[in-house]
Amino acid sequence: MESLNEFAMSVPGIASSLVMYLLLAFCLMTIANKLGTPHSWLAFVPVANFYLMCKMVGYSGVLVLLVFVPVVNFIFMIVLWWKIAEARDRSGWLGVLMLVPIANVIVPILLAFTESGGMHTGRPIHHA
């Protein structure tokens, strides 16, 4: 294969992308369930998963529109992951690690499948 684009369009590239998407969606669904957020199945629906992330941290679902604004979407996703980490009693800095390749695979797994890190922020998350 001559380029990354050719790999991405190959069967292994498509299959690995699908596996990564399903892994992230399953982690989001698990985190939503642990936080008591309704409709956790939305984690598997493109764009609706951003709505679910907003609801997981107590934000208005309308804020999902920010993911369509260049540059703002980048900052908004960091803030969302920061808040999700805090809601799972972890350091918000885990949200920043979502920018780092490989770490952005490990962080959702840690948030979904490990118990509280003892970093409770003292701020309960209320769901509407």
Q: Is residue 127 part of a domain?
A: no
Q: Is residue 90 part of a domain?
A: yes
Mean per-residue pLDDT, 21-39: 97
CA distances from 96 to 41, 44, 91, 101 (A): 25, 23, 10, 11
Give me the pLDDT at residue 68, please. Answer: 95
Give me the pLDDT at residue 10, please. Answer: 84
Give me the pLDDT at residue 61, please. Answer: 92
Written as one letter, the residue type at 11 is V
Q: Is residue 123 part of a domain?
A: no
Mean per-residue pLDDT, 5-13: 74
pLDDT in tens, 35-71: 999 999 999 999 999 999 999 999 999 999 999 999 9
pLDDT-derived band at 4, boundaries 50, 70, 90: low
CA distance 92 to 99: 13
CA distance 37 to 53: 9
Range of the domain at 108: 4-113
Give me the pLDDT at residue 12, please. Answer: 81
pLDDT averaged over every residue in the chain: 88
Q: Is residue 12 part of a domain?
A: yes
Total domains, the chain: 1
Give me the pLDDT at residue 85, please. Answer: 96
Largest separation between any pair of C-alpha atoms in the chain: 52
